[in-house]
Amino acid sequence: MNTNLKREIKSFVLRSRMTLSQRLSHEQFWPLFGIEPPLNMLNFEELYQRSAPTILEIGFGMGGSLVELAEKNPEINFLGIEVHKPGIGALLFSIQEKQLSNLKVICGDAKEWLNQHIADHSLAAILLFFPDPWPKRRQQKRRIVQTPFVDLVQRKLEASGYFHLATDVMSYADHMRDVMSKHQGFGIINTAGISLNLIRPKTKFEQKGERLGHTITDLIYRKTI
């Protein structure tokens, strides 16, 4: 074994037990709305059969907010990536139920897909809502928001594209601010007076957090270089 190969630290742990309905949705609707790894880079115009801005959500959970965004913004292409198959099955069912032609689904590691299959400067926005906070100190190296990941996000965004992060864990919000403030390729957008429900629908996860007294932090950054 080559001990010089550095193992990639994953920011997620797989939890993939699907219900019967989720499994059936996956079997029926994945051929319609799912994306298999291409040989090279995704061609969004071919994928959506039109030219339009494309927004990627990383880790969409059960897909509720992504479906709502796609419904409210039919002029925009949406792409969701998730590793957990129950959420993928649920989202595929919703896409079929609502007949959404502007929403496609990827099953896989976001960093691998961004590196291997999504062209530089091709995304209008990247959304990262409530990623795993990995709260214990020894776990924090597994947080997805790290400088190499932000470098990757910057490369994939088009000029003036934006990166929207949300968390209900204050220590992670502080970590996000610290990482982003040190990156020269982004400037923070002042969200004072903006109704965030217009750009990030409230999720069940968020509603649960609010009932528990958690503070929700939204951070939006514009690509500057």
Which position among 132, 168, 174, 178 bears the catalytic label?
A: 132
Describe the strand order of the beta sheet including 77-82 as a list of residue ranges: 34-35, 103-107, 77-82, 54-58, 123-129, 157-167, 217-223, 186-188
One-letter amino acid for residue 107 of the chain? C
The gap from C-alpha 115 to its chain's centroid, in whole angstroms, comes to 15
Phi and psi (nearest 5°) for 34? -85, 155
Active site residue 132: yes
Nearest CA-CA partner of 127 in 41, 66, 56, 64 = 56
Task: Give bridge partners of residue 57 from the DSSP assignment.
Answer: 80, 127
Output the CA–CA distances (angstroms, integers) from residue 80 to 36, 182, 207, in the order listed.
Answer: 13, 28, 21
Q: What is the DSSP letter of 187?
A: E
Instruction: Kindly list the catalytic residues.
Output: 132
